[in-house]
């Protein structure tokens, strides 16, 4: 790539030198030979490209016709100038695109070739399998997702999450491929392969991000296919009609050439994809992976945002906030934890972790789906569960008014107390997110009404739906899609269907399930809700700059076209209307990086 750029730059510089030198040659024959040689040097690649292209009516074709016309009327300097400035514009345009790509690949410098396996030593990354133990030294990138089984170290997670503050990781913590180990040797058990790792999924998304074109891009592509042949036809008529009625052929041929160069759609063709590519690059710097420009365009105009509750609005980490019992608290916890010994429910796990005493021997264990558990501890009959379980067994108790999941317990048909377990709301700036939505924010949750209502109240969200199954969430979003653009934010495997059905699905990348990440269009790699506000801002900025670029390009071209038809324009002004405007548009859309 560097060699290509150097050769192209050398060719441009040599052509500029010969072009200047021609002004010092007095003999016409020598001057003509030098100018034609310069023309061949600067234009031969354009001819080759035009021949290779299946589409005849592109910008290369317009430049060739315009320059050959200038040569025909012996305007050699202008013929060279058209191609030379076009080549300079192409060079700088490609350089800008390359810089934009490099900003992403530098940030997402995630490609890892080798891995150090504990048993085999250094091997190709493709050879590693799930379950393999690998080593990561200080300063090295983590090659695969995995669980730390030995060691403790700070991780630079910026390439994945966008967070600059190092993250402390210990035994049993999940680390993602692309993290950089900062302090000490780690032994990690692989939970992914080279094809399924977080780093590879990000790279795949970046490589495929241009596959999903925006409505604007699709329109510009279709527009160009009709536009260019139309311009060629008009250019012919500009020469033909005046010549038929006796006007000077060379004069109107020159005006026709100015018309061709001015009308070249370079700025339109480049501004839209480059603008959205810059938006995707800017998002990645913020730890937000946008899978395509189409999704970025949709985020600029949102009517409804739907949020899952647990793990999305809340931390998804349950804590015991209150214990109320008529017996010794430690013994009460011991009874509950023993009863829940065989349960893998997150609530049961929290209780078992809180209990510091040895578990009691349990018999006659029976799990009652949606209610709780029933068992015996020694000779005592124990019930542990929700209100329904106690009511069905005629236990007299006073229901708690606390917010959260309430675990009630009885012993020998007598109420002995309850535990309040709740989830913490994530840090967020909901007031800013609300400003980005045209209509409203809605919570869709599988939890009970009391829990969802409390979260909605605290976040000042008016509309919420509770006790929803995944299929119910899909139906809700589908019903709202009829009235506007929908966005769903979730993290769990059960959110995958609704993430897919929404106009834009946003998932939590760090803590979210693999299914949710695969189904979503946008991944928040840092699990930070405030990133939603950031990516919407970027989407709006991108769309605004693309829109203004199109308006500016068309306006300048229209003015110069009008001047050209009136005989008031020059070839130099025509080249500015094409190449100059293209460069200005490129610079303008690149400012996406310095906003937000």
- Positions marked catalytic: 308
Please choose, from the candidates 140, 123, 145, the residue with its C-alpha nearest in 3D space to the C-alpha of residue 194.
Answer: 145
Calculate helix-pair angle for 76-107, 581-590, nearest 10 degrees.
10
Q: What distance separates the 2 farthest-apart alpha carbons in the chain?
A: 119
Radius of gyration of the chain (CA): 33
CA angle 507, 509, 513 (to 5 degrees): 75
**Cα dist. 354→247, 322, 323, 358 in Å?**
97, 12, 11, 12
Structure tokens at 440: 């409203």
Residues 6+ apart with CB under 8 A from 237: none
Token pair 């490209």: residue: 49
**Cα dist. 366→66, 337, 414 in Å?**
86, 15, 19
377 DSSP β-pair partners: 362, 380
Other beta carbons within 10 Å of 103: 17
What is d(CA 236, CA 254) in angstroms, rounded to the nearest whole number?
11
Token pair 């094409």: residue: 578
Residues 6+ apart with CB under 8 A from 429: 529, 530, 533
Other beta carbons within 10 Å of 537: 19
DSSP 553: H
Structure tokens at 318: 């349950």
**Cα dist. 16→6, 8, 10, 29, 287 in Å?**
15, 12, 10, 20, 44
What are the DSSP calls for 570-593, one per residue? -HHHHHIIIIIHHHHHHHHHHGGG
Phi, psi of 509 (to 5 degrees): -80, -35
Q: How many CA atoms lie within 13 A of 468 on its CB side?
A: 22
SS (H, E, C) 129-163: CCCCEEEECCCCECCCCEEEEECCEEEECHHHHCC
**Within its chain, how far is the Cα of 296 from the centroid?**
8
Asked if 329 and 323 touch (Cβ cutoff 8 Å), the reply is yes
Token pair 């390439």: residue: 159
443 DSSP β-pair partners: 307, 464
């Amino acid at each position: 790539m560097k060699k290509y750029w150097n050769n192209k730059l050398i060719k441009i510089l040599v052509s500029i030198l010969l072009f200047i030198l021609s002004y010092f040659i007095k003999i016409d024959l020598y001057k003509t030979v030098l100018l034609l040689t310069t023309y061949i040097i600067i234009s031969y690649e354009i001819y080759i490209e035009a021949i290779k292209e299946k589409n005849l009516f592109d910008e290369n074709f317009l430049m060739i016709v315009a320059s050959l016309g200038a040569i025909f009327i012996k305007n050699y300097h202008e013929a060279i100038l058209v191609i030379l400035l076009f080549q300079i514009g192409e060079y700088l345009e490609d350089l800008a695109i390359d810089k934009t790509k490099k900003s992403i690949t530098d940030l997402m410098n995630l490609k890892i070739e080798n891995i150090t396996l504990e048993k085999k030593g250094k091997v190709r990354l493709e050879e590693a399998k799930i379950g393999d133990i690998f080593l990561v030294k200080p300063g090295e990138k983590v090659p695969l997702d995995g669980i730390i089984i030995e060691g403790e170290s700070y991780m630079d997670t910026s390439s994945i999450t966008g967070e600059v503050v190092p993250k402390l990781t210990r035994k049993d913590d999940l680390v993602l491929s692309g993290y950089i180990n900062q302090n000490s040797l780690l032994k990690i058990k692989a939970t992914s392969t080279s094809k399924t790792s977080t780093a590879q999924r990000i790279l795949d998304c970046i490589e495929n991000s241009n596959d999903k074109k925006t409505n604007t891009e699709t329109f510009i592509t279709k527009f160009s296919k009709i536009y260019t042949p139309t311009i060629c036809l008009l250019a012919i008529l500009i020469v033909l009609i005046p010549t038929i009625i006796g006007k000077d052929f060379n004069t109107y041929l020159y005006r026709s050439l100015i018309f061709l160069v001015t009308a070249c759609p370079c700025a339109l063709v480049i501004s839209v994809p480059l603008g959205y590519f810059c938006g995707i690059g800017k998002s990645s710097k913020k730890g937000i992976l946008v899978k395509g420009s189409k999704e970025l365009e949709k985020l600029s105009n949102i009517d409804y945002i739907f949020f899952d509750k647990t793990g999305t609005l809340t931390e998804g980490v349950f804590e015991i906030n209150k214990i109320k019992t008529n017996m010794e608290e430690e013994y009460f916890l011991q009874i509950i934890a023993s009863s829940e010994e065989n349960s893998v429910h997150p609530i049961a796990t929290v209780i078992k972790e809180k209990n510091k005493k040895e578990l009691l021997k349990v018999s006659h264990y029976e799990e009652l789906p949606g209610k709780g558990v029933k068992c015996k501890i020694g000779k005592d009959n124990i019930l542990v569960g929700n209100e329904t379980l106690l009511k069905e067994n005629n236990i007299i108790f006073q229901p708690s008014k606390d917010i959260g999941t309430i675990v009630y317990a009885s012993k020998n048909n007598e109420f002995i107390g309850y535990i309040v377990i709740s989830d913490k709301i994530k840090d967020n700036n909901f007031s800013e997110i609300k400003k980005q939505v045209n209509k409203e924010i809605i919570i869709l949750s599988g939890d009970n009404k009391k829990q969802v209502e409390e979260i909605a109240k605290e976040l000042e969200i008016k509309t919420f739906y509770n006790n929803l199954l995944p299929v119910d969430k899909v139906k809700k979003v589908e019903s709202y899609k009829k009235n506007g653009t929908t966005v769903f934010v979730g993290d769990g495997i059960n959110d995958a269907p609704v993430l897919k059905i929404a106009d834009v699905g946003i998932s939590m990348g760090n803590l979210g399930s693999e299914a949710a990440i695969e189904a979503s269009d946008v991944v928040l790699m840092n699990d930070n809700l405030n990133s939603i506000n950031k990516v919407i801002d970027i989407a709006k900025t991108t769309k605004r700059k693309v829109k203004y670029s199109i308006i500016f390009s068309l306006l300048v071209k229209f003015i110069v076209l009008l001047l050209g038809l009136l005989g008031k324009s020059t070839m130099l002004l025509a080249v500015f209307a094409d190449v100059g405007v293209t460069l200005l548009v490129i610079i303008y859309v690149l400012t996406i990086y310095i906003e937000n």
